[in-house]
Amino acid sequence: MLAPLKTLANECRARHAGLGAFNVIHLENAETIVGAAEQAELPVVLQISENAVKFHHGDLEPLALATLAIARRSSARVGVHLDHAQDLALIRQAIGLGFTSVMYDGSHLPEEENRATTAQVAHWAHDAGVTIEAELGEVGGKDGAHAPGVRTSPEEASRFVADTDVDLLAVAIGSSHAMTTRDARIDLDLIRALASAVPVPLVLHGSSGVSDENMRLAIRAGMTKINVSTHLNKVFTDTVKVTLADRPEVVDSRKWTGPANEAMLQEVARLLTQYQAA
């Protein structure tokens, strides 16, 4: 069933648990992630990024409607989220389609313009009963706030939330986008300081690069929404490689996507369970 991100995140924050948020690029991803949530009997967030929309020729609606339908029919509580959106028209479209949350990424803008535009998007979202996530600084992997030595200031984070009225805040604490190794060095003391300074749930982008042990520590320190994409893409692709190496005669895509989807399902279920037991 569809569930508001704000509700799911606040419940997890109150329990010092993590909320898994996983990217949907293809329809099968949504089916797999929801299947994992049902198996684990835990809530989950399905995320469609602006980059994924570009991959689908700039057309959000087909993938969005399918993802929303899968979420509504699930026995699990499922949020459907637009991730890392800079296009304001795309955000308005997602709100109109029934997304339960949107992330406005104004990190490319000058600070004051970012604050003003984020506040405007928050107004649109709240008028529609939709949760809004924002980011203070640019999440790394792209020479942004997660480049070595760059971190989110608790004082700036507190002011940003007060000025914009966002419901969740993505912060820079040492992780980075698109990591294929799980050796990111995260700042647990900074997470604790941010969690004390900011009255809304914190979001960790670039979680694929964080080890299981460090993720548990990050959640205990105050991190709530945990975004994972590259790690699951790696699990899926590695399984495809093994399957095709073992069975090079296979041409039916169901024969090689099936095992990969199952491997991804089991990893999502494992991560969801780990985040709750942190």
* Threshold 0.85, pTM exceeds: yes
* Set 59, 83, 167, 238: catalytic member: 83
Q: Is the pLDDT of residue 92 over 50?
A: yes
- 162 CB neighbour count, 10 Å cutoff: 11
* Token pair for 130: 């939709």
pLDDT score of 146: 42
Whole-angstrom Cα distance, residue 42 to residue 276?
Answer: 9
Residue with tokens 């020479």: 143
Domain spans, the chain: 5-276
pLDDT score of 149: 53
Task: Write the pLDDT tens digit of every residue in 97-151.
Answer: 999 999 999 888 888 899 999 999 999 999 999 999 998 865 444 444 445 456 7
- 212 CB neighbour count, 10 Å cutoff: 12
Residue with tokens 């570009």: 54
Task: Give me the half-sphere count of Cα atoms (radius 13 Å) on the Cβ side of residue 199.
Answer: 8
83 belongs to the catalytic site = yes
φ/ψ of 236, rounded to 5, equals -60, -50
Q: How buried is 13 (Cβ within 10 angstroms: 0-12 exposed, 13-18 middle, 19+ buried)?
A: buried
Between 217 and 81, where is the model more confident? 81
**In the chain, what is the straight-line distance between the N-terminal and C-terminal CA atoms, in Å?**
25
Q: How buried is 187 (Cβ within 10 angstroms: 0-12 exposed, 13-18 middle, 19+ buried)?
A: middle
* Mean pLDDT for the stretch of residues 69-85: 97
Residue with tokens 């087909």: 62
Task: Write the pLDDT tens digit of every residue in 6-59.
Answer: 999 999 999 999 999 999 999 999 999 999 999 999 999 999 999 999 999 999
Task: Write the pLDDT tens digit of every residue in 246-271.
Answer: 999 999 999 999 999 999 999 999 99
Note whether 173 and 166 are within 8 A (CB): no
- Return all residues near 5 (Cβ < 8 A) that are at least 6 apart: 45, 79, 81, 100, 101, 131, 133, 167, 168, 225
pLDDT score of 64: 98
Whole-angstrom Cα distance, residue 169 to residue 161?
Answer: 8
pLDDT score of 108: 80
- DSSP letter for each residue of the chain: -B--HHHHHHHHHHHT--EEEEE-SSHHHHHHHHHHHHHHT--EEEEEEHHHHHHTTT--HHHHHHHHHHHHH-SS-EEEEEEEE--HHHHHHHHHHT-SEEEE--TTS-HHHHHHHHHHHHHHHHHTT-EEEEESS--SSSSSTTSTT----HHHHHHHHHHH--SEEE--SS--TT-SSS-----HHHHHHHHHH-SS-EEES-GGGS-HHHHHHHHHHTEEEEEE-HHHHHHHHHHHHHHHHH-TT---HHHHHHHHHHHHHHHHHHHHHHHHT-
The CATH architecture annotation of domain 5-276 reads Alpha-Beta Barrel (3.20)
Task: Write the pLDDT tens digit of every residue in 171-190.
Answer: 988 655 444 455 566 788 99
